[in-house]
Amino acid sequence: MKYFLRSEHFKQRHNAFAVPFLGAALFMVLLTFPAHAVLAPNVEAGRELASVTEAVGKRFPGQPIQSITRQESGSYDVRVGTCRLKARIITQPTPQGMVGPRQYTVRLTRPKCAAAKQ
């Protein structure tokens, strides 16, 4: 019985040491992987919408934007006055080792304008 108690005591102490040690080892392994800072989808969509609004505002100064509708990932349908156009989000390649939000530019298609009603 005496040896049984010693072995149980050893097993408990060994497990108490092994769990934190394995956790620390796993943490060190995960530190070696590259870090990528990604924004939440709703924040990223807000940044895209602000960029599209800014690009359309530069193309059509003084004209109100009637609507901006997200079509698919990275594509927006924009109505300005009697014109309609597409805005595409073009992702820029990130340099090696750079972390942070995604870098992109907004590319606008040619506007298709309807004749003004009289």
pLDDT of residue 21: 62
For 18, half-sphere exposure in the C-beta direction (CA atoms, 13 angstrom radius) is 6
pLDDT of residue 2: 56
pLDDT of residue 57: 94
Residues in Cβ contact with 62 at an 8 Å cutoff, skipping those fewer than 6 apart: none
Beta partners for 86? Answer: 77
117 or 95, greater pLDDT: 95
CATH number at 41-113 = 3.10.450
pLDDT of residue 74: 84
CA 75 to CA 26: how far, in whole Å? Answer: 40
Amino acid at 65: I
pTM reported for the whole predicted model? 0.63
Q: What are the tens digits of pLDDT across the range 45-97?
A: 899 999 999 999 999 999 999 999 999 878 999 999 899 999 999 999 888 87
Do 67 and 95 meet the contact criterion of CB atoms below 8 Å apart?
Answer: no
pLDDT of residue 99: 78
Amino acid at 75: S
User: Where does the chain show beta strands of DSSP type E?
Assistant: 65-72, 75-80, 83-91, 104-108, 112-113
116 or 63, greater pLDDT: 63
For the chain, report the end-to-end CA distance as a whole number of angstroms.
103
Q: What are the tens digits of pLDDT across the range 8-49?
A: 665 666 566 555 665 666 666 555 655 555 678 788 889 999
